[in-house]
Amino acid sequence: MSYVRIWLHCVWGTKKRIPFLSVDNKWNVLNHIKENAKIKGIYIDFINGDKEHIHCIISLKADETLSKTIQLIKGESSFWINKNGLSKGKFEWADEYFAVSVSESQLPKVREYIKNQEEHHRKKTWEEECEEFMQKYRFEKTKG
């Protein structure tokens, strides 16, 4: 048996940055994502977000890939949102996402950051946060 624990801080937004996650539906959507992930055997340690994006900490197992895991979470949740009429038009998540590894010792700090999204975004926009991630983790913007 293999023993693997890979922690990832993942972030993705709504398509066209539409502020879908309102006070009225945010926790309904986030709780659904966490429960559905559990059914699929995906471990979401912590999840929160603001109007147009979600942050979560995921622990990957040895046989899970990041791209498949994100695809399962985003795909099923957008289907569920549309099926339940939670969006005025067709709801979609943006194609892109951020994901960075997190050491076990830094998990409390990342959880705290995710927990305080509403407060954090009173001072910084989603666009500013994206740019900060791009610089902090030295991601290169691609054209496409």
Domain at 6-136, CATH from 3.30.70.1290, 3.40.47.10, 3.40.50.300, 3.30.420.40:
3.30.70.1290
What is d(CA 135, CA 140) in angstroms, rounded to the nearest whole number?
9
Task: Indicate if the pLDDT at residue 130 is higher than 90.
Answer: no
**Cβ atoms < 10 Å from Cβ of 58:** 23
**CB-CB contact of 61 with 127 (8 Å):** no
pLDDT given for residue 92 in this prediction: 97
Beta bridge partners of 10: 56, 99
- pLDDT-derived band of residue 144, with 50, 70 and 90 as boundaries? very low
Q: Where are the domains of the chain?
A: 6-136
- Contact between residue 51 and residue 19 where contact means Cβ atoms under 8 Å apart: yes
pLDDT given for residue 24 in this prediction: 87
Model pTM score: 0.89
Residue 142 has pLDDT above 70, yes or no: no
CA distance 77 to 61: 21
